[in-house]
Chains A and B, each alone.
Chain A
């Protein structure tokens, strides 16, 4: 079973690759609009890449109600 920190670390890698910025640091509290380049187009790619990374699928309402990276970590954990 992955810990939240491990999930966060893998999400961080995905976001870094998607946004081409290895300096990005994410915490549970990070929101998309605090991260340079994480706009609506990038969001599509990031959500697809996260589903792909963990081999999981989310429901529509789970995605639309996401508030921050912590929510995404919890969502991934709920699927593993």
Chain B
């Protein structure tokens, strides 16, 4: 049996959990990493509360919680939020963020939203979570005028959204509404518009449109409650006693779901699924049993289980998650099923990095991350062997390692329910991304045949396009702004709503850059935002400059500068200012602007580097792109 609210993909909290947690404040360093590691366990409400208190205490003392990204979240809730608040701290740390939470007075959503001086807005929150359910919207009863009731409910939410839009900058997050169990007519509830079920379905539909118009994010709480079972999700005793909106058992899962989206806003969603082979992708041991005896494919129950794992992996790849393999095997042996077994869904061409050898798996995951040029904290490692999982967690705690049950039939549910790959938007670029990692391997072959770099790049037949921001590109622009960590000069994060606002700024220069070559279409890989310098109207001042690391070493940086210079000249500017703001992850671009020929004009104690380029002295280099 699979019980979602129990979050069985998390290992149990160890005996020493409380002692370890209490010891964190006394550490000399590494507080954030220690908290992140402790948050990987399944916690009861008391452990979660102690965790929240510890994190809050450290943050209040000004202690760095890196690598956790700070995130200020204001909560407006129609119901008691205290236990959810406790659970959110650990849930946040599990998904890469150190949450600084402020919760408005109970059941004061509208009053708070209309009060810009409310305490919850004083911290300038990064996001506002508006938390309500069917009871707050009067969707908890049979309605004689269902259209009117649903409209009134949507109007109430729209009013809150308008009020919150006055305090710009914060991403609005809402949940849709779960349908409570029980009915009125029976099966007819789905058809009669006035039932709770039909009204809530209509409301959720309207909420999606409302969110699309306003740029708010909608958590699919209805789906979550449905997966748990709504009779478990809602607890009438807890509502009547304490106005707790959901059963206490479900609070950790609810908090985890909120945290997944917040993690994704900070670029913490995972990017790559690393798969073990024997008894993870097929039943049996390929080295012992041979290709004719492993269990994979339809017609045999175990084979169906592993087929479902492969199908999920393939679907993840189709939505842009990179696949890699890490197996203790001889390389040829491990590759054989991918090449020769007719029932395998996964083929060699689906796997971006294939690490089959006898070294420890932690070293292999490091190699996978290095090859793909992504962080270890972007990896999820799926392995049926509990000893390998425990070793991986001990060696590389930043790698997500789901627990797995004895029966592989449940593997896909465990993997899909853990929320590692939360996405805020989906575009055609995403679906092409995983293939582009595979195509890298083919490019590597051309590279070997080429005499020099220029020869190689010309052989790739690259096409680069640079355009201003527009509505079509908006979701991907926001995604790049929030996900790019390494090749990001200023690491300023903007929500989709912010990006839309930038489009409307008259004097602002924006650039979305796309690249394709003869092997794949990378889609959008670069973003620049620059404005007229506040103290020098003849100059353009770069606010944001970032690029996907997938296109490093292809002179895209040079082409982006060229496009910026052309844009600046067209706008009648004669100088360009830019800066590098250091973070834990963007060391690779510390001297990018030096390399591109800008003049370093200042360096601060905190590592900030300021640059200037006099446009008349800029000469465009020859670049290996077909058109621009």
Contacts and interface: CB of A to CB of B under 8 A. Distances in A.
Contact of A44 (B44, B50, B53, B242): B242
Contact of A18 (B18, B46, B241): B46
B86 A45 contact: yes
Contact of A48 (B50, B53, B83): B83
A44 B237 contact: no
Interface stretch (A1-9, A28-36, A57-65): A57-65
Interface in B228-247: 237-238, 240-242, 244
Interface string B329-370: 000000000000000000000000000000000000000000
Contacts of A49: 44-46
A60 B248 CA distance: 15
A64 B241 contact: yes
B46 A17 contact: yes
B46 A44 contact: no
A51 B49 contact: no
Contacts of B46: 14, 17-18, 49, 52-53
B82 A17 contact: no
A20 B56 CA distance: 13
Given A17-B50, A59-B237, A44 B45 contact: no
B241 A52 contact: no
Nearest to A51: B248
Nearest to B251: A48
Determine which residue in A18, A45, A48, A59 has the highest number of CB atoms from chain B within 10 A of its CB, and name it.
Answer: A48
B105 to A, nearest CB: 12
Interface in A33-80: 41, 44-45, 47-49, 51-53, 57, 59-60, 63-64
A17 B83 contact: no
Determine which residue in B82, B242, B244 has the highest number of CB atoms from chain A within 10 A of its CB, and name it.
Answer: B242
Interface string B72-95: 000000001011001000000000
B241 A45 contact: no
Contact of A20 (B53, B83, B242): B53
Nearest to B18: A17
- Main secondary structure on B side of the interface with A: helix
A14 B49 CA distance: 11
Given A51-B248, A52-B248, A45 B80 contact: no
A64 B240 CA distance: 11
Contacts of A45: 45, 49, 82-83, 86
Nearest to B248: A48
Nearest to B45: A49
B240 A48 contact: no
A32 to B, nearest CB: 14
B237 A52 contact: no
Contacts of A20: 50, 53
A48 B45 contact: yes
A63 B237 CA distance: 10
A48 B80 CA distance: 13
A64 B242 CA distance: 11
Contacts of A53: 44, 46
A52 B251 CA distance: 12
A52 B45 contact: yes
Contact of B237 (A14, A17, A41, A60): A60
Contact of A60 (B18, B44, B50, B241): B241
A25 B598 CA distance: 68
A22 to B, nearest CB: 10
A36 B45 CA distance: 20
B83 A44 contact: yes
A78 B485 CA distance: 56
Determine which residue in B46, B49, B238, B241 has the highest number of CB atoms from chain A within 10 A of its CB, and name it.
Answer: B46
A10 B53 CA distance: 21
B49 A44 contact: no
Contacts of A59: 237
Contacts of B44: 49, 52-53
Nearest to B240: A60
B159 to A, nearest CB: 29
Contacts of A41: 82
Contacts of B50: 17, 20
Nearest to B237: A60
Contacts of B242: 44
Interface string B208-245: 00000000000000000000000000000110111010
Contacts of A63: 241
A76 B50 CA distance: 24
A52 to B, nearest CB: 5
B373 to A, nearest CB: 44
B75 to A, nearest CB: 15
Interface in B39-81: 44-46, 49-50, 53, 80
List the 9 closest pairs (A to B, CB-CB), nearest first: A44-B242, A48-B248, A17-B46, A49-B46, A49-B45, A52-B44, A60-B237, A48-B45, A41-B82
Given A44-B83, A51-B248, A52-B46, 10 more contacts: A17-B49, A20-B50, A44-B241, A45-B83, A45-B86, A52-B44, A52-B45, A52-B248, A53-B46, A63-B241
Interface of A: 14, 17-18, 20, 41, 44-45, 47-49, 51-53, 57, 59-60, 63-64
14 contacts: A17-B18, A18-B49, A20-B53, A44-B80, A44-B83, A45-B49, A47-B241, A48-B83, A49-B46, A52-B248, A53-B44, A53-B46, A60-B240, A63-B241
